[in-house]
């Protein structure tokens, strides 16, 4: 007789389309196919601390495939640094205790880069952990793509499509800020698909004068409007040099005090970078003589109904995850590999960010059609 397992599921980090589809896939495969019990953990890792759970039976899983966000709620809380009554505390042992109290045989964590690191910490504490990659930034490594990216890419591309008409009608520069703090996949993909004239991403520091020259060159050829797609984390060459220097000091620091000082410097630089897109638009207006307008897409990229591709991806990853649990495979992330899936050790994934390679085919193709990257 097969053992009836009891597994927990949580979503952590930012929300995105496809989370409910993944919860559904894990739940239905576990409940319907294997006859297991599934417990939903509310509000990410905090739910394990506060013992906030819900039973995911057939009725709870019905009708959620097309719904955006997550029925379980989410948070950015980290087990080892969780804010409790205004004080930052390590709640890892509490989570371990409640995992055992719930009599869980495994815990499925759906999340991005931070979630992979938190999941690894819990796995090292002896919990049976398995993760699914989720992020609209597409920066989780060792997987072809992550849950939510395809939908966000479609939303961002449609937004750029719509901005073309107003830019053309008013002879303006329209600067569209897209998400992507440390990786430019979203801005790059939407920029290429939406026909942006300039694409600025974190991986390629830009010179605003070169961007302005590209826009003026279009004007000289009779095109008095331009679309600039910029990732929120895109930096000028000067900014990038300051960040690189601060990172080097942090890596070279020999004492805790030196590391803290370097971290504080990085925080300060991050704060200074806030509002960069508005400053960029003002600079371009001065340098080109063309009126500029800024559109910040923000959280609209996270919301809405998941695309067909994200629903398919969620179903593939979720069902593969349950199969791995059945086989006793833990401390892995379920990665997308072509039409298949592959378990990748969390030790390999945690702490690594997938950035856009400078020779990526999207960049190569964009350069060939005259897209400016500001370098």
Locate tokens 């980090």: which residue?
13
- H or E stretch covering 130: strand 129-133
Catalytic residue from among 15, 43, 105, 137: 137
> Does 105 qualify as catalytic in the annotation?
no
The C-alpha angle 18, 94, 132, rounded to 5 degrees, equals 20
Question: Smallest Cα–Cα separation from 186: which of 217, 221, 141, 156?
Answer: 156
Taking the C-alpha atoms of residue 166 and residue 159, their distance in angstroms, rounded to an integer, is: 12
Print burial letters for 200-232: b (CB count within 10 Å at least 16), e (below 16). Answer: bbbbbbbebeebbebbbebeeeeebbbbbbbbb
Q: What stretches of 171-293 show up as alpha helix (H) in DSSP? A: 185-193, 208-220, 237-252, 256-273, 276-288
Q: Which residues pair with 337 in a beta bridge?
A: 340
Residues near 118 by beta carbon (within 8 Å), at least 6 away in sequence: 12, 45, 78, 79, 80, 109, 111
Where b means 16+ CB within 10 Å and e means fewer, 84-98 reads eeeeeeebbebbbeb
Catalytic residues: 137
């Amino acid at each position: 007789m097969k053992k009836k397992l009891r597994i927990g599921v949580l979503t952590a980090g930012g929300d995105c389309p496809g989370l409910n589809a993944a919860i559904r896939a894990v739940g239905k495969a576990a409940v319907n196919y294997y006859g297991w019990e599934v417990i939903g953990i509310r509000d990410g890792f905090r739910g394990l601390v506060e013992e906030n759970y819900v039973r995911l039976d057939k009725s709870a899983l019905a009708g959620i495939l097309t719904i955006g966000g997550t029925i379980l709620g989410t948070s950015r809380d980290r087990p080892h640094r969780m804010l409790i009554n205004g004080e930052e505390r390590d709640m890892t042992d509490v989570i371990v205790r409640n995992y055992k109290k719930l009599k869980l045989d495994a815990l499925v964590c759906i999340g991005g880069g931070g979630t992979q690191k938190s999941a690894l910490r819990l796995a090292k504490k002896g919990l049976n952990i398995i993760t699914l990659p989720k992020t609209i930034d597409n920066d989780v490594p060792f997987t072809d793509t992550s849950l939510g990216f395809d939908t966000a890419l479609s939303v961002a591309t449609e937004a750029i499509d719509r901005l073309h008409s107003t830019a053309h009608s008013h002879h303006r520069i329209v600067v569209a800020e897209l998400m992507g703090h440390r990786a430019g996949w979203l801005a790059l993909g939407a920029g290429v698909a939406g026909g942006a004239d300039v694409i600025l991403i974190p991986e390629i520091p830009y010179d605003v004068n070169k961007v302005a020259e590209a826009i003026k060159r279009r004007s000289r050829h009779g095109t008095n409007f331009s679309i600039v797609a910029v990732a929120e984390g895109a930096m000028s060459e000067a900014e990038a040099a300051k960040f690189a220097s601060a990172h080097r000091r942090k890596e070279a620091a020999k004492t805790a005090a030196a590391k803290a000082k370097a971290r504080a410097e990085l925080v300060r630089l991050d704060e200074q970078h806030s509002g960069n897109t508005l400053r960029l638009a003002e600079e371009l207006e001065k340098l080109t003589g063309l009126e500029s307008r800024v559109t910040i897409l923000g959280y609209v990229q996270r919301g809405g109904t998941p695309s067909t591709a994200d629903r398919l991806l969620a179903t593939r990853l979720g069902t593969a995850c349950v199969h791995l649990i059945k086989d006793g495979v833990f401390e892995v992330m379920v990665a997308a590999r072509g039409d298949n899936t592959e378990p990748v050790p969390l030790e390999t994934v945690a702490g690594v960010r997938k950035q856009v390679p400078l020779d990526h085919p999207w960049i190569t193709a964009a350069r060939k059609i005259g897209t400016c990257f500001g370098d």
